[in-house]
Amino acid sequence: MKRKGQVRFGIIGCGGIANGFHMKDLSQIPEAKLVACADIRPAVAKAFAEKWGAETSYGEYPQLLTRDDVDAVIVATHHETHAAIGIEALEAGKHVLVQKPLTTRLEDADRFVAAAEARPGQKVQCFPFNWSNAVVEAIRLIEKGAIGQPTQARRRIAHPGPGRDSWFYDPAIAKFGASFDMGVYAVSGITALMGPAVSVSGLVGTFEPGVRIDDHATWLVRFASGATGTAETSWTQQGSVEGTVIYGLDGAIALGVPGSPDPLRVYRRKSGVSFDSKGDWKPVTLKPDPPAAAHRELVDCILKDRTPRGTPQHARHVVEILLAAHESDRSGQRMELQTRF
């Protein structure tokens, strides 16, 4: 029986991300309850259910979607299956959280967006969404003109890569490598900060011997505002050298600059131009990010009837940019984008 103020979840895909992220978050939210789980490996699903206290496990997810006691579904399967399973969950009347990336094919992203738009009463959240206090405050500062007109931006999200024996390195399953695994964070973040992109040039490649899928990528982006930027990702990064910077005519905003104890800093020009400019950097005081914020967002939106951040339209835009990098790298041409968010 459903308690008032409770959201009952089903999880499809019981691998590492479901264990290490989704259930880690859900278990911290009193209003969330795991009811059922499904995985194409029945033994894995059964073990997952026992570990996290689900009532039932399945080897086939359609059985989970028929349950009246499942309010919301988390799709945590392989990349190319996210959108298709998400559509089935929507058609079954469920609220849906889709793991990143939304899909590996633009036509699937279009179908998912259409399915979500046709069901405005169902809440849909697409990862990644840019919920950290540093990013939210940076967006607010940009919108209020703290650095003047934004002109350029850079965002890099990278790590040394997943285990070499994982499915992430199998082109038959993953379809794409670092660009869709980690690049999705860089592209989602830079478009959240700078707005939609109108064109993209991309460079995609592989450094490590024996790897049959891309392990690094760079996007050169022109935004609808006229500003430009770069997004970068890699599975070959052996040191934690990250950073996001947004430059404007009157200053700059830096997130996570190496060596800085401050997650967000703002430079404001006080006087002068060019070499005569004078100003200073100041840290921005932020509240700590709340625990389980990513999943708390969906739970609150379901219970309070509001629209989640991390929209299908933005997720679709990100997929288009990710794909455009590969096409640009093959053709040597800049790719014009079809839609905004």
C-alpha 286/C-alpha 62 separation (Å) is 43
Give the contacts of 204 (CB within 8 A, at least 6 positions apart).
Answer: 179, 214, 216, 217, 218, 325, 326, 329
pLDDT at 154 over 60: yes
Interstrand relation of 56-58 and 278-283 (parallel, antiparallel or unpaired): unpaired
- Of 59, 66, 7, the C-alpha closest to 37 is 59
pLDDT tier at 288 (50, 70, 90 boundaries)?
A: confident
Report how far apart, in Å, the C-alpha atoms of 332 and of each of 203, 205, 328 are.
9, 13, 5
Gyration radius of the chain's alpha carbons: 21
Tens digits of residue pLDDT in 226-242: 999 999 999 999 877 77
pLDDT digits (tens, 9 = 90+) for 4-40: 789 999 999 999 999 999 999 999 999 999 999 999 9
Alpha-carbon distance of 101 to 314, in angstroms, equals 11
For residue 1, pLDDT over 50 is answered with: no
**Contacts of residue 74, Cβ cutoff 8 Å, sequence gap at least 6:** 9, 10, 11, 12, 13, 18, 22, 97, 99
**Please, what sign has the CA dihedral across residues 69, 47, 98, 192?**
positive
Quick count: other Cβ atoms within 10 Å of Cβ 223? 20
Residues in CB range of 144: below 8 A, 6 or more apart: none
**Cα separations (Å) of 220 from 24, 55, 227, 257, 319?**
35, 48, 11, 21, 15
Which of the pair, 2 or 168, is modelled with greater confidence?
168
Domains identified in the chain and CATH numbers: 7-129+292-309 (3.40.50.720), 133-289+320-336 (3.30.360.10)
Chain-wide mean pLDDT for the chain? 94
Name the 3-class secondary structure at 157: strand
Q: With beta carbons less than 8 A apart as the criterion, state whether 326 and 179 touch.
A: yes
**Which alpha helices (H) appear in the chain, and where do they start and end?**
16-17, 23-26, 42-52, 61-65, 82-91, 106-117, 133-143, 171-174, 178-181, 183-194, 293-304, 312-331
Residue-level pLDDT at 163? 87
